[in-house]
């Protein structure tokens, strides 16, 4: 069993499913709302340092999805400043497993690191078969707003 610090957007359907997979595989998950975490440049770089800057951004963040922000146009420093100013832009989940720091939910990588695919629980298998990288609200034709859920036309 691994202990996983899981930085999420609280309420995100996919983050909830991802945590469920980890829990059903027997791991302990400590969820932290990445929107309210007090991020520092050093801490963010500990996750993103080995990735291309454009991979630091959440493609489903409203400003990115609408084309208002183009992750390709950022250098390391301007990307860090943007992510610190608006954490919804941070690609998620971010996970700490022992000394490992992971960006995004990669079932293959997680399976090789802590084992998640051999779980015989049918719910876990159903969840693993889903595309958990597409925003569930957008995928269903809905967007979430501060006032509730509205139809995305």
130 is written with which tokens? 């889903």
Q: Which domains does the chain have, with CATH numbers?
A: 3-151 (3.40.30.10)
Percent of the chain with pLDDT over 70: 87
| CA 78 vs CA 7, 73, 89, 101: distances in Å | 22, 9, 13, 22
- Residue 146 reports pLDDT greater than 50: no
6 is written with which tokens? 């899981």
- Rounded to an integer, what distance in angstroms lies between the CA atom of residue 112 and that of residue 98? 14
Whole-prediction pTM: 0.85
- Residue 5 reports pLDDT greater than 50: yes
**Secondary structure letter of residue 57 according to DSSP:** B
Average pLDDT across the chain, whole number: 87
Q: Could you tell me which residue, 47 or 152, shows the higher pLDDT?
A: 47
Active site residue 12: yes
Percent of the chain with pLDDT over 90: 75
Give the H/E segment covering residue 31.
strand 28-33
Q: What is the pLDDT of residue 48?
A: 97
Q: What is the pLDDT of residue 143?
A: 40
- Rounded to an integer, what distance in angstroms lies between the CA atom of residue 116 and that of residue 51? 24
Of 1, 36, 26, 31, give the one whose Cα is nearest residue 15: 31
pLDDT per residue over 104-133, tens digit each?
A: 999 999 999 999 988 888 888 888 888 777
In 3-state terms the chain splits into helix, strand, coil percentages (rounded to 5) of 40, 20, 40
Say which residue the tokens 């700490």 belong to: 96
Catalytic residue among 2, 4, 12, 94: 12
């Amino acid at each position: 069993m691994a202990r996983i610090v899981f930085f999420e957007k609280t309420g995100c359907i996919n983050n909830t499913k991802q945590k469920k997979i980890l829990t059903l595989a027997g791991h302990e998950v400590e969820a932290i709302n990445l929107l309210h975490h007090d991020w520092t440049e050093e801490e963010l770089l500990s996750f993103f340092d080995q990735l291309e800057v454009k991979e630091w951004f959440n493609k489903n963040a409203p400003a990115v999805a609408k084309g208002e922000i183009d992750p390709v146009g950022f250098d390391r420093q301007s990307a860090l400043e943007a992510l610190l100013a608006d954490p919804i832009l941070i690609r998620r989940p971010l996970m700490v497993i022992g000394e490992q720091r992971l960006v995004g939910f990669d079932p293959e990588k997680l399976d090789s690191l802590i084992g998640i695919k051999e779980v015989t629980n049918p719910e876990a298998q159903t969840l693993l078969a889903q595309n958990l990288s597409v925003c569930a609200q957008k995928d269903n034709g809905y967007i979430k707003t501060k006032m509730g859920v509205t139809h995305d036309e």
